[in-house]
A and B are shown apart, each in its own frame.
Chain A
């Protein structure tokens, strides 16, 4: 990161976006003969030079398997690998480093909890509550385990603005509720859910809570102790880091009581053919050779976010969202899907008489990357009676000039398609 960018971040001033853009090499490329406009950040974020360099450095200088080797490379690789765990712990303010379990990403984290905690603790007639705006990753694992355990899956409904109806949530909660698993920020609508309140009410009924932080980790301050959530999951690739790396946070006493997930490798303490004893936290849940390089390169992503400052990132993203929302409302026939009072930087919309896919193709023809479709949240699309939306999701390196190009591209697409 340039000195100017760092000064701006430290002084809590407006970020120098031009300098930040210099840190992301991919933003210099052309797509279909146009400079790339990348508005698919909710699917995956772009990576700063430091993250890319860390991957190259790892394979050039450090590559060795972690934890078991006695040679220097193995020790250095292990130190770099474990340093990321400390960075994640601090990033979400977990109390202990053993509470950070490495996963492939958010989806694996949710599956881990559903398969281990769920299978052990859910009994026939117990209830799991999710919300009507969950990504498939926070629906399907619970469906599977509920079916297996004969437990019941309940859903918090969503209102016309794309917010959870909390009165209905309160009615769903009962002594039967054993788990409440909800998304922090909706990938399809951008809605920021009041998870602290949701967690408090769940705890009042004796239920545990899991927060899907895939979309919130880059944008919102995360403090798992303040939230008091029992589990929190995140993915590196949605927060400027590499793909295939993520974390599950769980309260220590819960993780200790949970059965193991996958068998083999690091999760073992001692094996005989008669009996195996398992390793301690967090390794108990980390079977096999992990995705070492990507975890090593996850730390510079966290460091980068920390240096920019979440408040500064959020301020810039809010400006982008406000600017885009104000401009898109000027285009006839456009309807925004999801107008929650608390929103992260996602603009999801439909256009009268125009299929989202057609718009996506024509925008791509202008080098503008948006997402179209159901965003892996089909039940939510059904709730709004639409096949899908066009979604522009913004990140700290995006600019209002890029939004101007989106608006221009949209107007041209509508003219052609209508």
Chain B
């Protein structure tokens, strides 16, 4: 899916959505709901090579590059992580490698996620963003689409 809006606009949209919630109970309920709705990853992609290191739960992440845009697909065995992944995909998927590499992803802090999650899980979130950017960097260095 190609995304025409800038990354910062999508980030702002998520920040506004989270501002509507009064409590962390509601925020978690929303994240869990996102997790449950996340498109399942094809079984062939669930291999060790696609695992993101640094997560307590298992996360598989794959990326595709077409018409100069990167699209991501991911899944986890833990539903809250799936919800977080869903947000990362919503923000980064469909953009060019340069746009992805430039994204500061500050929305994660602004919705309070990094301060609310324990350090180890917050590291897992950072590991996922890092891996998504690695894909973008790899695609950027390609001369043609794959």
Binding site for B on A (CB under 8 A): 32, 355, 357-358, 361-362, 364-365, 372-373, 387, 416-417
Contacts and interface: CB of A to CB of B under 8 A. Distances in A.
B74 to A, nearest CB: 15
A358 B118 CA distance: 12
B28 A365 contact: yes
A357 B81 contact: yes
A355 B58 CA distance: 10
Name the residue in A358, A362, A372 with the highest tally of chain B Cβ atoms < 10 Å from its Cβ: A358
B107 to A, nearest CB: 19
Contact of A357 (B29, B32, B80, B116): B80
Given A364-B118, A373-B56, A416-B29, A357 B24 contact: no
Contacts of A417: 32, 79
27 contacts: A32-B24, A355-B57, A355-B77, A355-B78, A355-B79, A357-B56, A357-B80, A357-B81, A358-B32, A358-B80, A358-B81, A361-B28, A361-B117, A361-B121, A362-B28, A362-B80, A365-B24, A365-B25, A365-B28, A372-B56, A387-B57, A387-B58, A387-B77, A416-B28, A416-B32, A417-B32, A417-B79
Contact of B78 (A358, A364, A365, A416): A358
A357 B121 contact: yes
Contacts of B117: 361
Nearest to A374: B56
Nearest to A353: B79
Q: Is the interface of B mostly helix, strand, loop or mixed?
A: helix
Interface string B103-133: 0000000000000111001000000000000
Contacts of B116: 32, 365
B2 to A, nearest CB: 32
**Chain B contact patch, size range:** 10 to 19
Contacts of A362: 28, 80
Nearest to A33: B24
A333 B121 CA distance: 25
Interface of B: 24-25, 28-29, 32, 56-58, 77-81, 116-118, 121
Given A355-B77, A361-B80, 8 more contacts: A358-B79, A358-B81, A361-B28, A365-B25, A373-B56, A387-B57, A416-B28, A417-B79
A364 B80 CA distance: 13
Contacts of A387: 57-58, 77
B18 to A, nearest CB: 15
Nearest to B57: A357
The 7 closest A-B pairs by CB, nearest first: A355-B78, A357-B78, A357-B57, A358-B80, A358-B78, A358-B79, A361-B80
Contacts of A365: 24-25, 28, 116
A372 B98 CA distance: 38
A372 B77 CA distance: 14
A359 to B, nearest CB: 9
B31 to A, nearest CB: 9
Counting chain A CB atoms within 10 Å of each CB, the highest count among B24, B28, B32, B78 belongs to B78
B123 to A, nearest CB: 13
Greatest chain B CB density within 10 A among A355, A362, A364, A387 is at A355
A167 B56 CA distance: 36
A145 to B, nearest CB: 28
Nearest to B117: A361
B27 to A, nearest CB: 9
B3 to A, nearest CB: 29
Contacts of B58: 387
A387 B32 CA distance: 20
Most chain B beta carbons < 10 A, residue from A32, A361, A364, A387: A361
Contacts of B29: 416
A273 to B, nearest CB: 46
